[in-house]
Amino acid sequence: MMFRFASPYAGLAFALLLVILVWHLVRARRKRASLRFSLIAPFRGMPPGLAVRLRHVPVALRVAGLALLIVAFARPQTGRHEEEVLTEGIDIVLAVDISGSMKTEDFKPKNRLEVAKDVVAQFVRGRRNDLMGLVVFAANAYTRCPLTLDYGVLVDLLSQVDITPREEDGTAIGMGLATAVSRLKDARGKSKVIILLTDGRNNRGQIDPLSGARLAQALGIKVHTIGVGTEGEAPYPIDDPILGRRYINVQADIDEETLQQIAAATGGQYFRATDSQALKQIFSTIDRMERTDLKVRGYTRHTEQFAWFLYPGALLILLELALARTLLRTLP
């Protein structure tokens, strides 16, 4: 919220108001009484009347009224700054693997999925004016959040994503890619981008990854692919109902060749994240690559507020005139 005076030079009238006030006080001190008495001793013990006690009220009302009128003449205004974005943003869909292997705990202190969620959320919060959506996939793929500018809703839905149940486990990379493409095919952004994150190879679904890549290529959609998982073996948790949680070592099984082919076919890049820091760096790199220089036109909408000062000021002046000619009238 902003505040300003549209006619600030009207405030110079305050100096004139001060001169009038000083003049009135000096005049009041020099003014002689109109009636003279030869003996005033009998009157000294008499308490002053109400009119005497209130003799300065008309002056106070006049000064306050004039002050309010001067503020009104200066045209006080409140304003709200608004911006109009002139540049179209980028349409981005995040396709995240939620298969059982994402529970692998090689991205200490969390598993792969939890670290990916944190990094993706940070990436989303750093965007501006980009439509963004979320697709998750395991044995099947589905849209978790359609394209939106409400990043708070997107981050909230992302935080609720969890590993898929065992009966629905699998890695349908092609289906995840095709679902993301379907979300972008009618989008009208300056460019369209899919960021696909997985730690495995395609083993489920009716669409193979390269077919999904050709579909994205035909629609002018760029796909960046990210393989997550450390080199070699990594600890995978198993929750035994009798023995409790225990860990086994599993070998990383990322189909890097297919992910590289998807990225190359669509004009994107392939990245490999072997730890949480590397994943953060990858999303930071993508963030810099997929940026649009925003052109913003700013303006301020002003609202006149003079009425809040004009009417009370006029009322005080009228009250002063009424009192000076009735209850607080003085003899010449």
The predicted-structure confidence for 17-64, as pLDDT tens digits, reads as follows 667 766 766 666 565 555 565 556 665 655 665 666 666 777 788 778
Indicate the burial class of 112 (C-beta count within 10 angstroms; 0-12, 13-18, 19 or more).
Answer: buried
Q: What is the pLDDT of residues 124-144, one digit of tens each?
A: 999 988 899 999 999 999 999
CA distance 312 to 305: 13
Computed over every residue of the chain, the mean pLDDT equals: 84
Which residues in the chain belong to E strands, given as ranges? Answer: 2-5, 76-85, 91-97, 132-137, 141-148, 192-198, 221-228, 233-240, 244-251, 270-273, 296-304
Residues spanned by CATH 3.40.50.410 within the chain?
87-289
Query: 276: which DSSP letter?
Result: H
CA distance 123 to 108: 20
Checking if the pLDDT of 72 tops 60, the result is yes
Q: What residues contact residue 261 under an 8 Å CB cut-off, 6+ apart?
A: 209, 210, 213
Instruction: State which amino acid sits at residue 234.
Output: A
Checking if the pLDDT of 86 tops 70, the result is no
Rounded to 5 degrees, what angle do the CA atoms 323, 324, 330 make? Answer: 130
Tell the CATH topology of 87-289. Rossmann fold (3.40.50)
Largest Cα span, the chain: 121
Short-list 196, 190, 194, 176, CA closest to 93: 194
Higher-scoring residue by pLDDT: 159, 87: 159
Q: What is the pLDDT of residues 251-299, one digit of tens each?
A: 888 999 999 999 999 999 999 999 999 999 999 999 988 877 555 566 6
Look-up of token digits 């708070």: 152
Checking if the pLDDT of 188 tops 90, the result is no
